[in-house]
């Protein structure tokens, strides 16, 4: 059901859940709330969907998120490869 609702197949869902889990881990490490992400241009609702893997993100958005945590995009990708 989830794949049909979002247009994502099973592999995409797994990938974006992995991305979201890593992003949530980074946010928690900074002790930031979802509301804190507004400072970086993300609504709490939007960021919650990203962390839950319910919203796919572009390279541009991934780069913005990485930057919010003081990382560049390649560093974020390397973190994903370790999971």
pLDDT computed for residue 8 by the predictor: 81
Q: What is the mean pLDDT of the chain?
A: 90
Residues 71, 53, 24: CA angle, nearest 5 degrees: 45
Structural domain boundaries enclosing 68:
2-82
Once rounded to an integer, what is the mean pLDDT over residues 60-76? 96
* C-alpha distances in Å from residue 25, one per residue of 4, 19, 71, 81, 83: 28, 10, 14, 14, 12
Residue 50's CATH number: 1.10.260.40
At residue 5, does pLDDT exceed 60? Answer: no
Say what percent of the chain tops pLDDT 70. 92
Tally the domains of the chain.
Answer: 1
CA–CA distance, 3 with 8 (Å, rounded to integer): 5
| Cβ neighbour number for residue 15 with a 10 Å cutoff | 15
pTM of the entire predicted model:
0.85
CA–CA distance, 15 with 44 (Å, rounded to integer): 21
At residue 50, does pLDDT exceed 50? Answer: yes
pLDDT computed for residue 6 by the predictor: 58
């Amino acid at each position: 059901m989830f794949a049909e609702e979002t247009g994502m197949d099973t592999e995409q869902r797994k990938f974006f859940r992995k991305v979201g889990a890593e992003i949530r881990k980074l946010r928690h490490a900074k002790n930031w709330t979802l509301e804190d992400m507004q400072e970086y241009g993300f609504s709490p609702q939007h960021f919650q969907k990203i962390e839950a893997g319910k919203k796919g993100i572009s390279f541009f958005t991934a780069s913005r998120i990485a930057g919010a945590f003081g990382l560049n995009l390649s560093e974020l990708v390397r973190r994903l490869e370790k999971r």
